[in-house]
Amino acid sequence: MEITDENVIQQLKYKNQDALEYIMDTYSAGVYGLACNILKDLGQQEDIEECVSDVFVSVWEDCHHYNPIKGSIKTWLLILTKYKALDYRRQMYGEKRITRADNVEKLVSPKMVENEIILKEEISQITAIIDQLGDKDQQIFYKRYFLYETIDKIAGQLGLTRHAVDNRLWRIRKILKENVAE
């Protein structure tokens, strides 16, 4: 069976290794680029590669969490990558892990759980809004806010002026501010 964007998640759920290979072949450059941008000043090459590998392991194990209504496969992968890379970044900073049972209650307060739920809902809203934008605006948004590329680099890649990219980013931020529930 040929793997496509339309059937790749279903095939992952069936544990078809060709589906994982398809995801890796199609999206590894973006996943690697984002992980590299987040970890470049702290991690070594091995750390970045390990983070990317962990992202694809998460895709394999947690493919049932993907919801096409909330965003595209690319959006889902980049969000997974962003949070996985930020986890690695925190580890590299040497944050101490509290493992004593009496301190666990302090770590998981109802307010923290509520904030996490709110954050996930906001992310869902943002990805839904971004997925409704035109292709060029989506590219600009992802390159700027997920891959941390400079405006000049984005303009050069997409054949736009710096001013045009600035304007598009401003409009995207305006749309997000108007549509994300407060």
How many domains does the chain contain in total? 2
Question: What are the tokens at 109?
Answer: 């307060």
**84 in the same domain as 6:** yes
**75 in the same domain as 2:** yes
Digitized pLDDT (tens) for each residue of the chain, 182 residues in all = 788 888 988 988 999 999 999 999 999 888 998 888 888 777 688 888 999 999 999 999 988 888 888 888 888 999 999 999 988 888 876 543 333 344 445 445 566 667 677 767 777 788 888 888 999 999 999 888 877 889 999 999 999 999 999 999 999 989 888 887 55
Question: What are the tokens at 95?
Answer: 């944050």
**118 in the same domain as 61:** no
CATH number at residue 48: 1.10.1740.10
Expressed as residue numbers, the domain containing 178 is 101-182
Inter-axis angle of helices 162-179 and 110-132, nearest 10: 130
CA angle (156 as vertex; 151, 161 as ends), nearest 5: 70
0.75 surpassed by pTM: no
**146 in the same domain as 86:** no
**176 in the same domain as 134:** yes
